[in-house]
A and B are shown apart, each in its own frame.
Chain A
Amino acid sequence: MANYSTSEFRGGLKIMLDGDPCNIIENEFVKPGKGQAFNRVKIRNLKTGRVLEKTFKSNETVAAADVVERELEYLYADGAFWHFMDSENYEQYQADAAAVGEAVKWLQAQDRCQVTLWNDAPILVEAPNFVVLQVTETDPGLKGDTSGGGGKPATLETGAVVRVPLFVQTDERIKVDTRTGEYVSRVKD
C-alpha cells in the first residue's frame, strides 16, 4: 500500500495510525515564517469510532489505509457473523459483532447498508437511516388517544425497543430513524 506525505493530507484521506485505519476529519497546516512546519490533524479511528488529535512534522509520511465504503445487502446472521452481499458482483462479506455494533438493533434481511471495508473486511456497518419494522409487543394504548403525547415503549421484531405514541398497537409496522432511534410514523401497507 502507498504512503501519503503530510502535504497530501485533507479531509477524507484514509491513513494507518498505530495499526488502525483512520479517517482524517480536519487538517491544519501550522508554520512560523522562519521555522518548522507541522500538520495538526483531527482523526477518526474507523475501528473504534473514536476521534483523536495528532501533530505531525510536515513532510513526514504515513501509510495509506486500504479503506473503501460499499453499499451492501444484509443477508442473514449465523450466530457468529453477519453476512452481507454486494448486489453488483454477488461477492459476500462477513462482519463480526464489533463491526456491526449498534446497527444490529435494526438489521433485517435485504436492508441496504453502508459498510466500511478495510483490507476487504467489514469494520463498520451502518444501518439504513430509516427502517420499517413490526411492533411485536407494546401495552395497549388508551382508545381514542391520537396525540402521541406521553408515549410508551414498544419492542420491535429485531429486538430493538423504541418509544412510540400511545395509539401504536402490537403487529403494526412503524418507521424508525436509526440515527436517533426515534419513532417517525406508522406505516400502512
Chain B
Amino acid sequence: MSAASKTDWRPGASLQAIRARAQLLRRIRDFFAARDVLEVETPLLGRAFGTDPAIAPLIVREKAKDETWYLQSSPEFYMKRLLAAGSGPIYQISKAFRQGEVGQRHNPEFTLLEWYRPGFSAADLMRELADLMQHLLGITLTAQTRTYAACFVQYLQLDIFAADTEMLRACAVAQQIPGAADLTLARDAWLDLLWTMCIEPQLPSTQLTFITDYPASQAALAELNVHDSRTAARFELYYAGLELANGFQELTDATEQAARFHADNAQRKRAGQPVLPLDARFIAALQHGLPGCAGVAVGVDRILLAQSGLSSLDQVQTFSAERA
C-alpha cells in the first residue's frame, strides 16, 4: 500500500474523464434500449464463484454466521439463470472483482458490460459488438477477424496444434522474452505468455480485431466448434492495443459444464489453489435448459482508455484500489 499523502483523497480521474464515463454509460443504455435488450441486475455477493483457475476470488466472510460470500468476477452465472428462466435478451452493467489483478490495465474492482442474445451465433454477436463499438466511439471502424491459431502462424511462425510445451518454451526463448528460460509453465500458460508478450502488441490498434477459435483447452464456458473440436467458439475483441471483450457461443450442456468445473478444480488442486464449491444452482439451470445463445463481456474502463488515449485505469476510475 502506498503511504497516505496530502493529495491521496483526490480522484484519479479528471472531471472530463468522469463525464466521459457518464456519457458512455448513457450510450450503452440507449443502444440496448433501441434493440429491446432488457437491463438486469444480479448479485455482486454470491454463494458460489467460477472455477476458472486464472481468476481468484475476493472473499467476504460473515463471522457471526460462519458464512462465505464471493464478490463476483462476472455476472455470468446469474444472467444464465435468468436466460434459463425465460428472460429473453438481457444486458447488465455491473462491477466485477478479481483478487490480485493490479496494474496499468487492471484493478481488482472494475466495470463490466455483459449481454446475452438467445438465438445468436458467436458471429452474430461479434457483429453486434462491432455496431456497439461504433456507436460508443462515434467513429467508423473497420473490423477484421482472425483465428487464434492463424495469429501464431503469422507472428511467430508457430503451429499451435503441432507444438508441444517444449517447442512453445523454445519459441519464447527465441523471441527473447526476458527470463523465459527460467519459467516453469503449463502448456496454456506458455501460449498466454507468447500471446501477451509477442502477439498482442502487434495487433492493429486502429481497427477492431476479433480473435476467434481459441484452443479447446482455453474454451472456458464456450461450446467446442462442431467443425473442429480442437477449438472452441470463443472470441475476443482487441482495439487500441487493449483486450476489450471476451465472448462465447455459450455452452448449454449441463453434464459437460459440470465436467469442466471438476477439471478446473483438479487443476486448482495441482497448482495449490483453493478448490471452489460448484455452483449447483447454475448447473440446475442448465439442466432445466439454457436456450442456445451467445454472450459477451466488455471491459467498460478499458473502452474509456481506448476512447481517451489515457494509459492507466487510475485515470478513468474515480478511485482505483490505490486511492480507495
Contact = CB atoms under 8 A, between A and B. Distances in A.
Interface stretch (B161-169, B176-184, B202-210): B176-184
A34 B54 contact: yes
A58 interface: yes
Contact of B100 (A34, A54, A59): A59
B102 A31 contact: no
A32 B192 contact: yes
Contact of B236 (A33, A54, A59): A33
A160 interface: no
A30 B103 contact: yes
A19 to B, nearest CB: 14
A187 B166 CA distance: 66
Contacts of A28: 103-104
Interface in A48-82: 52-59
A56 B179 contact: yes
B58 interface: no
A129 interface: no
Contacts of B101: 29, 31, 37
A33 B243 contact: yes
Contact of A35 (B177, B188, B299): B188
A89 B26 CA distance: 64
Q: Which of B54, B177, B243 has the most CB of A within 10 A?
A: B54
B169 to A, nearest CB: 12
A31 B193 CA distance: 9
B179 A55 contact: yes
Contact of B218 (A30, A35, A57): A35
B195 interface: yes
Contact of A7 (B100, B180, B200): B100
B178 A52 contact: yes
A58 B100 contact: yes
B140 to A, nearest CB: 27
Given A28-B103, A55-B178, A34 B183 contact: no
A36 B189 contact: yes
A148 to B, nearest CB: 44
B260 to A, nearest CB: 13
Contacts of B54: 31, 34-37
Nearest to B101: A31
Given A29-B101, A34-B246, A57 B185 contact: yes
Interface in A97-118: none
B216 to A, nearest CB: 13
A31 B218 contact: no
Given A37-B101, A38-B197, 13 more contacts: A29-B104, A30-B197, A32-B192, A32-B196, A32-B200, A33-B299, A34-B52, A35-B191, A35-B195, A36-B188, A54-B182, A56-B179, A57-B189
8 contacts: A28-B104, A29-B105, A30-B196, A31-B101, A32-B192, A35-B218, A54-B179, A55-B177
Interface of A: 7, 28-38, 40, 52-59
Interface of B: 52, 54-55, 100-106, 177-180, 182-186, 188-189, 191-193, 195-197, 200, 218, 220, 236, 243, 246, 299
